[in-house]
């Protein structure tokens, strides 16, 4: 049943958790100060024009987005450069992560403002991520025609969890670096039950296309990380596909019973769960060294020889870095994580992928604290 709701949306600026990076954006001064009269209706599959993505689409206009503040949760959508005469435009919008079945339709008849429409993520329960936008023009004979399609991204926060040892603490080493297997299992089960999507850096371009993106990372390549591997294997089912990143110290592989062996690493990679990335060759304090080729590049090549897969990410040992370290790191890596606390959000700043913050999980982290740390912002 069709339910029409008249909405008067007035441009107001609200700060919220979403941040905005535009796709295909242009500034349109005409649309920033007006009141937008918008008719929203629930999606009606029967009325939706069919779109066949396999056919080559010839656009008859351009969807543009404004204004552009990275923390926006709202955006003004217009359709410019139209080659068809239309009386109204129906914007079909859905969140990529939820699929086209989550589509809503918003009508604008603001011809004088290029059929502007103020889109608010509230329409999708304040969820962020990438949204697909299609503009259907209403022709004189009543037919609707697809004029243009585009996508716009409201950046999602991405927690990058940082673990070290997954084992009982037996009095050796720093206790806070040990998370017990039982606690780790409860934490991973929480992510599974709450619908998180575990990613690795290879799938970074999906962070805004999935629900609740999160990365699980381990530093130092310790043998007891096999406990984590087994737990993740057990949690795997059709709905939940575990993924994790192990930052190994390349020079320590096969160096004793506390460290992962070549065989361990191969098993982890072949499971499809683990991505093996670099933690340098010798756990070097990078701001104090000069042999970057060895620590950054030789470590990367050694790991790649074992796994047969590209190494694109590094964790700075001790979380130490400076401008020189970042410059050198950028020659070999696309991503680098620090130990600075917090979730990651893309702001469009230079080198931000080489200065990523992480969420430290320690021996004393309770499940309630864990939940608060990973909660979507
Ligand atoms: Zn380390």
Between the CA of 318 and the centroid of ligand 1 the distance, in Å, is 6
Q: Where are the domains of the chain?
A: 4-155, 160-374
Between the CA of 281 and the centroid of ligand 1 the distance, in Å, is 11
Between the CA of 307 and the centroid of ligand 1 the distance, in Å, is 20
Burial 253-270 (b: 16+ CB within 10 A, else e): beeeeebbbeebbeebbe
Helix axes 181-193, 225-235, angle to 10 degrees: 30
Q: pLDDT per residue over 107-122, tens digit each?
A: 999 999 999 999 999 9
Between the CA of 204 and the centroid of ligand 1 the distance, in Å, is 23
Q: Do domains 4-155 and 160-374 have the same CATH topology?
A: no
pLDDT at 2 over 70: no
Between the CA of 268 and the centroid of ligand 1 the distance, in Å, is 19
Q: pLDDT per residue over 269-308, tens digit each?
A: 999 999 999 999 999 999 999 999 999 999 999 999 999 9
Using CA atoms, how far apart are residues 24 and 68, in angstroms rounded to an integer? 12
CATH class of 160-374: alpha beta
Residue 351's CB is within 10 A of a number of other CB atoms, namely 12
Between the CA of 279 and the centroid of ligand 1 the distance, in Å, is 7
3-state class percentages of the chain: helix first, strand second, coil last, to nearest 5: 30, 30, 40
Between the CA of 316 and the centroid of ligand 1 the distance, in Å, is 7
Bridge partners (DSSP) of residue 290 are none
Using CA atoms, how far apart are residues 82 and 85, in angstroms rounded to an integer? 8
Between the CA of 143 and the centroid of ligand 1 the distance, in Å, is 62
> Residues 225, 229, 230, CA angle at the centre, nearest 5°?
115
Residue 330 — pLDDT band, cuts 50, 70, 90? very high
Question: pTM, whole model, 2 decimals?
Answer: 0.85
Architecture of domain 4-155: Sandwich (2.60)
Nearest alpha carbon to residue 38 among 129, 131, 121, 105:
105
Q: Calculate the alpha carbon distances from 208 to 98, 158, 244, 277, 283 in Å.
A: 11, 9, 18, 22, 32
Between the CA of 231 and the centroid of ligand 1 the distance, in Å, is 22
Between the CA of 144 and the centroid of ligand 1 the distance, in Å, is 59
CB-CB contact of 322 with 336 (8 Å)? no
Using CA atoms, how far apart are residues 253 and 268, in angstroms rounded to an integer? 14
């Amino acid at each position: 049943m069709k339910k029409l709701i008249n909405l008067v949306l007035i441009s107001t600026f609200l700060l919220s958790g979403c941040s905005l990076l535009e796709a295909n954006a242009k500034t349109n001064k005409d649309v920033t100060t007006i009141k937008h009269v918008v008719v929203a209706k629930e999606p009606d599959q029967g009325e939706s024009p069919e779109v066949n993505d396999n056919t080559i689409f010839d656009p008859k206009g351009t969807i543009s987005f404004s204004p552009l503040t990275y923390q926006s949760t709202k955006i003004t959508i217009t359709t410019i450069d139209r080659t068809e005469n239309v009386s109204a435009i129906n914007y079909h919008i859905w969140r990529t992560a939820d699929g086209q079945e989550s589509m809503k339709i918003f009508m604008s008849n603001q011809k004088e403002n290029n059929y502007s429409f103020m889109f608010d993520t509230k329409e999708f329960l304040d969820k962020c991520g990438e949204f697909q936008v299609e503009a259907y023009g209403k022709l004189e004979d009543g037919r609707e025609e697809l004029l243009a399609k585009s996508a716009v991204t409201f950046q999602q926060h991405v927690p990058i969890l940082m673990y070290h040892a997954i084992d009982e603490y037996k009095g050796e080493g720093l206790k806070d670096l040990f998370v017990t297997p039982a606690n780790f299992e409860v934490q991973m089960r929480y992510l599974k039950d709450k619908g998180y999507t575990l990613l690795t850096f290879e799938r970074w371009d999906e962070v805004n296309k999935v629900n609740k993106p999160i990365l699980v990372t381990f530093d130092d390549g310790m043998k007891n990380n096999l406990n984590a591997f087994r737990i993740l294997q057990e949690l795997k089912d059709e709905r939940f596909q575990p993924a994790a990143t192990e930052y190994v110290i390349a020079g320590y592989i096969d160096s004793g019973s506390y460290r992962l062996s070549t065989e361990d690493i191969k098993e982890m990679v072949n499971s499809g769960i683990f991505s093996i990335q670099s933690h340098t060759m010798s756990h070097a304090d990078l701001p104090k060294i000069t042999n970057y080729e060895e620590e950054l590049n030789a470590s990367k090549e050694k790991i790649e020889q074992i796994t047969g897969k590209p190494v694109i990410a590094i964790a700075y040992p001790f979380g130490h870095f400076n401008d020189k370290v970042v410059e050198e790191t950028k020659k070999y890596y696309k991503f680098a994580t620090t130990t600075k606390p917090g979730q990651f959000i893309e702001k469009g700043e230079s080198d931000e992928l080489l200065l990523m913050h992480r969420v430290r999980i320690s021996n004393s982290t309770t499940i309630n604290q864990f939940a608060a740390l990973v909660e979507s912002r």
